[in-house]
């Protein structure tokens, strides 16, 4: 992997954008309330944000991948592994705000207009490049789709009841009906199998819709559920949910980190970048 400098305003020469300019942005900050310093917590000797960055770089549909951060430690680490990072304000409350600022900085720096920005959360160390492709494909097929989310299956009652896991129900066309940290739909009044799905935080936005979304006021159910995507649902817009074939393992706590380390001990992708 050719070394490239980290940058905030000034930076390396422009990346080679594809005809459809699709970039991946990984928002990351040290001040996590549930797990401070999480991005630089190590899994198999590699900081978690490094795993996410290297794996996203393997997605061929992304013209380039950037880490958006307000923390110098993360910025410097990404530079040390030959990656690209963008310094952002430390006042952002939402990951999408941080990504929007980073995207506009990137456009200004490289004098290139982005078409789609794929936001990939930095606490998914087992992200597979194909998952990003899965999330992007409906937008490539249908220009009317403004945003997609990946949809993963929940396989245990414990995960279904975990408030760290965002649950989602969808309509018959695959669009999101509702997001909640509570178990939805209810299992109490149905004797059969209940569909249990979760949001997987790989979220591509069309460029102009990302800016429009961040200008929208917070909505009542968004605040109640503590799920940003409810703002889109409450405004009557569609979020296409895309079923992934991959199992996902987000890291929200130190215990999750230990579990991810066990799972990744034999992960074949790690071998491709662990000596980078």
In a domain, 2, yes or no: no
pLDDT at 17: 52
In a domain, 50, yes or no: yes
**Containing domain of residue 135, as a range?**
22-273
Per-residue pLDDT for the chain (276 aa), expressed as one digit of tens each?
444 445 443 334 445 455 569 999 999 999 877 788 999 999 999 999 999 999 999 999 999 999 999 999 999 999 999 999 999 999 888 899 999 999 999 999 988 899 999 999 999 999 999 999 999 999 999 999 999 999 999 999 999 999 989 999 999 999 999 999 999 999 888 878 899 999 999 999 999 999 999 999 999 999 999 999 999 999 999 999 999 999 878 888 888 899 899 989 989 999 999 766
pLDDT at 5: 42
Q: Can you tell me the distance from the alpha carbon of 115 to that of 85, in angstroms, rounded to the nearest whole number?
A: 19
In a domain, 42, yes or no: yes
Q: What is the CATH number of the domain that holds 133?
A: 3.90.550.10
Residues in the chain: 276
Q: Can you tell me the distance from the alpha carbon of 218 to that of 182, in angstroms, rounded to the nearest whole number?
A: 20
CA 61 → CA 7, 58, 93, 130, 210, distances in Å?
23, 9, 29, 9, 19
Provide the angle, in degrees to the nearest 10, between the axes of the packed helices 48-57 and 254-264.
50
In a domain, 260, yes or no: yes
Domain count along the chain: 1
pLDDT at 187: 86
pLDDT at 9: 35
In a domain, 186, yes or no: yes
In a domain, 163, yes or no: yes
* Intra-chain end-to-end CA distance of the chain, in Å: 7
In a domain, 8, yes or no: no
Taking CA 216 as the corner, what is the angle to CA 211 and CA 218, rounded to the nearest 5 degrees?
Answer: 130
Q: Can you tell me the distance from the alpha carbon of 261 to that of 60, in angstroms, rounded to the nearest whole number?
A: 26
Phi-psi region of 16 (alpha: psi -120 to 50; beta: other; left: phi over 0): beta
pTM listed for this prediction: 0.90
In a domain, 15, yes or no: no
């Amino acid at each position: 992997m050719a070394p490239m400098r980290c940058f905030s305003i000034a930076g390396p020469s422009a990346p080679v954008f594809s005809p459809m300019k699709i970039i991946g942005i990984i928002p990351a900050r040290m001040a996590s309330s549930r797990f401070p310093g999480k991005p630089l917590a190590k899994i198999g000797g590699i900081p978690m944000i490094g795993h996410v960055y290297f794996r996203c770089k393997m997605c061929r549909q992304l013209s380039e991948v950037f880490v958006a951060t307000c923390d110098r430690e993360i910025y410097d680490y990404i530079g040390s592994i030959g990656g690209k990072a963008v310094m952002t304000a430390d006042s952002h409350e939402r990951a999408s705000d941080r990504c929007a600022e980073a995207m506009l900085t990137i456009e200004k720096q490289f004098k290139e207009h982005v078409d789609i920005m794929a936001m990939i959360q930095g606490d998914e160390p087992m992200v597979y490049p194909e998952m990003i492709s899965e999330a992007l494909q409906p937008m490539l097929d249908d220009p009317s789709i403004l945003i997609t989310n990946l949809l993963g299956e929940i396989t245990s009652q414990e995960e279904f009841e975990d408030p760290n896991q965002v649950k989602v129900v969808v309509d018959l066309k695959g669009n999101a009906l509702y997001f909640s940290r509570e178990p939805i739909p209810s299992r109490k009044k149905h004797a059969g199998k209940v569909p249990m799905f979760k949001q997987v935080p790989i979220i591509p936005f069309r460029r102009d819709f990302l800016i429009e979304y961040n200008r929208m006021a917070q909505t009542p159910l968004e605040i109640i559920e503590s799920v940003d995507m409810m703002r889109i649902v409450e405004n009557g817009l569609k979020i296409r949910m895309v079923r992934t074939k991959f199992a996902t393992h987000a890291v929200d706590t130190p215990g999750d980190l230990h579990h991810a380390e066990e799972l990744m001990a034999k992960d074949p992708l790690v071998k491709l970048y662990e000596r980078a």
